Structure 1
Amino acid sequence: MSCPHVAGIAAYLKTFHFDWSPSALKSAIMTSANPMKGSKDEVGEYAYGSGHVNPISAVHPRLMYDISLDDYIQMLCNLGYDSTKVKLISGKNNSCSNTIDRSLVRDLNYPALSIDVKSNTSFTIKFERTVTNVDIGKSIYKALILPNPKIKITVVPETLTFKSLYEKKSFVLTVTGNELPTQIVISSLMWSNFIQNVRSPIIVNFSD
């Protein structure tokens, strides 16, 4: 039942923001969702996604993670798709370079931050993201991290200051961990103006 519910919410949001892209609408739905308790098998966001959707909060998401067609094309190139396959998907002529960097796939400007790492191995992973201010012209947001003792998370910069509507700001989130067995570790990043939180799930999957 989640598909028709979310489709209806997207249509509802479109009546308020007719010029928003599908990625912007999805970002609003994801980042305004209410967190849920872990599932019985403790796979967290892999079981329930970003949380319980809230269409009222999604109308004014404060910050937005938008993704352009060119961003998706670059992701497909880094996944190893050649120019012919990319054209079939995107409808655009594109020349993917011969250099493939699969690590850059995680830098798609997606509201959630997820990565697979090898178990029993130390790691440091960086995510680059850009948010767009869709709040009032002047606004300040502070990065809040849901603590998880199994990993260390830092955000640079820790504060985003916007002076105008639709202004963009970028940040880098770094996840560091020591040798851990096969498991799923969950955390989250919240950009807060202390009125509303813009939440992004963080999922680290340790596998063999």
Structure 2
Amino acid sequence: MTFFMKQMKSPQGTVLKSKAIFNQKAPKVASFSSRGPNTIAVDILKPDVTAPGVEILAAYSPLNSPSEVWFDKRHVKYSVLSGTSMACPHVAGVAAYIKTFHSEWSPSMIQSAIMTTAWRMNATGTGVASTEFSYGAGHVDPIAALNPGLVYELDKADHIAFLCGLNYSSKTLQLIAGEAITCTGKSLPRNLNYPSMSAKLSESNSSFTVTFNRTVTNLGTPNSTYKSKIVINHGSKLKVKVSPSVLSMKSVKEKQSFIVTVSGSNLNTNLPSSANLIWSDGKHNVRSPIVVYTYSG
């Protein structure tokens, strides 16, 4: 552009009207994005959500060249970048945005609001790339996250019980918690009060039954009734039961617990079977992915 303006006596340009194009496959996870399953805590679904991360105009360090090669002497304040390092600040910005409206919300409440209100992603393609191991709960929706209705909240005791379930030593737990910790009974890691539900099974060709214990906190309106709905994803043969199937919230910040029981058989090796649990009061739709899998890779 600069070269053109210098060469022309009367340089002129035309700004065309932008045109919106609807793509049914969007949003789509980039091929270079990291996938699950979680290899450390196998019963915690990862990733949590997706966010914009391809060709993002972002601030750039003037100490490095935009091409990152030694002979490039250019220095810029902004550059177009792609990667998880671009998606992460989008989610951080969404969290900060929510915090300005709800300063009293804890980090886990904000995380839950982001996950349970995310757009459900379209399964495009085959294999792991078109499953929750690719996109988690879905694509972030900042506006919807301001009013999630129900949230899955975590406190220090929840995290300690989770780490005990992962067989962390007392010495390691003390370093993390800042105090002496004694594990009294071991809670299954899958029972961490997380907005998603996931379980890794040891065998693919046998029948199974797994349960998830969860507690939700009402951040919607008092005297509200949430009814559960299960949506089985294409190709999955899961049977899912929620007990109780209806939650009656009398006040704001009221907590109620429920159990999700998932059963089935003959899982596909390395390909998860999944469903969605949706709690709805007619105004809010609090959605949590449910994933059961066996993995040999």
User: What interval of TM-score do these two structures reach, taking the shorter chain for normalisation?
Assistant: over 0.9
1:11 and 2:11 aligned: no
Q: 1:158 aligns with which of 245, 262, 273?
A: 245
CA contact (8 A) 2:161 2:186 kept: no
Q: 1:116 aligns with which of 193, 200, 223?
A: 200
Q: Relative contact order (C-alpha < 8 Å, sep 6+): which is higher? A: 1
Deviations 1:108-134 (A, max 9, x none): 000000011121011000001000000
C-alpha distance in 2 between matches for 1:173 and 1:33 = 21
Q: How many residues align?
A: 205
C-alpha distance in 1 between matches for 2:268 and 2:96 = 43
Q: What residue in structure 2 maps to residue 178 of structure 1?
A: 265
Q: What residue in structure 1 maps to residue 79 of structure 2?
A: none
Deviations 1:117-175 (A, max 9, x none): 12101100000100000001110111010025511000001110000000001000000
- Shift of the alpha carbon at 1:83? 1.5
Deviations 1:153-207 (A, max 9, x none): 0000111000000000100000000233313112110001122210000111123
Query: Larger Cα Rg: Structure 1 or Structure 2?
Result: 2
C-alpha distance in 1 between matches for 2:91 and 2:228 = 27
1:202 and 2:290 aligned: yes
CA contact (8 A) 2:279 2:285 kept: yes
The SS at the match of 1:207 is: coil
Unaligned segments of structure 2, at least 5 residues? 1-85
CA contact (8 A) 1:141 1:193 kept: yes
CA contact (8 A) 1:61 1:135 kept: yes
Q: Which runs of 4+ in 1 moved over 6 A?
A: none
- Aligned identity (percent) is 48
Letter in 2 for 1:204: V
Letter in 1 for 2:263: T
- Shift of the alpha carbon at 1:16? 1.3
Q: What residue in structure 1 maps to residue 147 of structure 2?
A: 60
C-alpha distance in 2 between matches for 1:109 and 1:162 = 19
Alignment map for 1:29-44 (pairs within 5 Å): 29-43=114-128, 44=131
TM-score, length-scaled by structure 2: 0.66
CA contact (8 A) 1:141 1:191 kept: yes
The SS at the match of 2:113 is: helix
User: Greater shift after overlay, 188-197 or 128-137?
Assistant: 188-197
Unaligned segments of structure 1, at least 5 residues? none
